[in-house]
Amino acid sequence: MPQTSMQEKQSKIHLQNGKGTQSFRRKRKAAEISEDSENIYPPNKVPALSPTETFAESCTVTSPPVAYTPQPSTSPLKEQQEPSTWSELRASTCFLTPSASHSDTNKTTPLPSFPWADGAQVWSIMCLGDQKSVTQRDPQMFQRHPTLQPRMRAILLDWLIEVCEVYKLHRETYYLAMDYIDRYLSTHHNVPKNQLQLIGITCLFIAAKVEEIYPPKIAEFAYVTDGACTEEEILGKELVVLKGLGWNLSPVTAPGWLNVYMQVESGDWSKPNTFIYPQYGGLQYSQASQLLDLATLDEGSLKFSYSHLAAAAVYHTQGRECALRVSRLTWEQLGPCAKWLNAFALTVAEERAQQMLRSAVPLIDSSAGSGLRASVPNIVADESHRIQTHVIDLEMLEQAQQRQSHEAILLSDCLDFEAILESASSPDQSGILTPPSSSQKNSPTPPRLPPQLEPYT
């Protein structure tokens, strides 16, 4: 009897513990499900990009790029399916590279066929990222800030270019900082002008940590402000800027698109693995980059995407056919940006070429003795063209803006003259021609017509 009662007590305790363990497991499982419902991958808080927008059509010729949608896999392995929740993402052990079967065969891409990635999918992701970046930059952002002027933005960017040249930072670092500044100002209101330099140096500090292998210390960034910004202020503003940008720190900038365009034009794709090595001349890249440096100082560049700005720079340096071929754009899509960039291209062309392309950066042979030339004979060993140089100034910007305003006046005069000719040549509803005005009757000489503009090619 005592033994039986003891066994019954142990069994009751075991059952109670089992029920407690099961209830604890149910609560834990419910907590995981609620956590996954709040943390869907990708998060629901991020607005999805619509592939039917007009800008997406500019990335391709035939049809707009769409976001990549994983197809149902026939393999029973769970790792081959894209994770849908954070718990599945943490439990995943490997992610397979999507094959060419997932890509849209109707879209054209200038990228070659890679053995390690799908070129059509890479191009589609780049186009969607470019669409997102252009929607986040507001061309009318100065209406949000009554104390700021477009001239202040140009002065700030010109100063940042000079800082990048002093510390030999890359062009990508500068353009990342410029993208951070524009996006921050496009999402905030009433930024005082005494905070503009702090925002600029903080964005350059973040961009240097993202892009550079050995970024300058924070003391160097505080030093170049000549006491206007302290290290504590830069660190405090860094978190504010990161939250304002949504921690989206890796857009495809204009030099990134320019790098892809020139690589597609200059590379030998019998060996697709060599696409990651630069095979274009540094002189052509520097010419197009200096044109971008001058054009992006103007607030009008905010109207165009980075891919269009890079393609327009290729148009003015290497020709129309090359620009349309490497960008897969039509002239109707590229024409407005190329025409807007014409004044800046003429301003750059007026400067002496040797003085524009002179740089104090020493030549660096990064592949000397590595045997890389055996597999990539066209590789460009010198990387000095990737260093940001201060070869443009605010005077050149003023000349380009004056040229733009002059061209706009001539164009408006020609449009008005065409309207006058059309109204004078067509009779009114009553069938009676409109007589000339008294000033034209009494004038001894006929009125002088404005000069016609040559067609833009």
Beta bridge partners of 382: 365
- In CATH, the architecture of 139-251 is Orthogonal Bundle (1.10)
pTM score > 0.75 for this model?
no
Supply 128's token pair.
């969607």
Nearest residue to 162 via CA among 147, 184, 177: 177
- In CATH, the architecture of 252-357+382-421 is Orthogonal Bundle (1.10)
> Can you give the pLDDT of all 457 residues of the chain as single tens digits?
455 555 555 555 554 555 555 554 555 455 444 444 433 334 444 444 444 444 444 454 444 444 444 444 443 333 345 555 656 655 555 444 444 333 333 448 888 777 778 888 889 999 999 988 889 999 999 999 999 999 999 999 999 999 999 999 999 999 999 999 999 999 999 999 999 999 999 999 999 999 999 999 999 999 999 989 999 999 999 999 999 999 999 999 999 999 999 988 887 667 767 777 777 878 888 889 999 999 999 999 999 999 999 999 999 999 899 999 999 999 999 999 999 999 999 999 887 554 545 444 444 444 444 555 555 656 666 677 888 999 899 999 999 999 988 887 877 666 555 555 455 444 444 443 445 555 544 544 444 444 444 444 3
Place of tokens 């067609």: 455
Say which residues have a Cβ less than 8 Å from residue 20's Cβ, sequence separation at least 6.
none
Supply 20's token pair.
């407690």
Q: Are 127 and 291 in contact (CB under 8 A)?
A: no
d(CA 327, CA 315): 10
Q: Residue 60: how many CA atoms within 13 Å on its side-chain side?
A: 25
Domain with CATH 1.10.472.10 in the chain: 139-251, 252-357+382-421
- 3-class state of residue 437 by DSSP: coil
Neighbours of 106 (CB within 10 A): 9
Q: What are phi and psi of 302, to 5 degrees?
A: -70, -15
Question: What ranges in 300-381 are assigned the alpha helix state H?
Answer: 306-318, 320-327, 331-340, 342-350, 353-357, 372-375
Nearest residue to 310 via CA among 293, 298, 297: 293
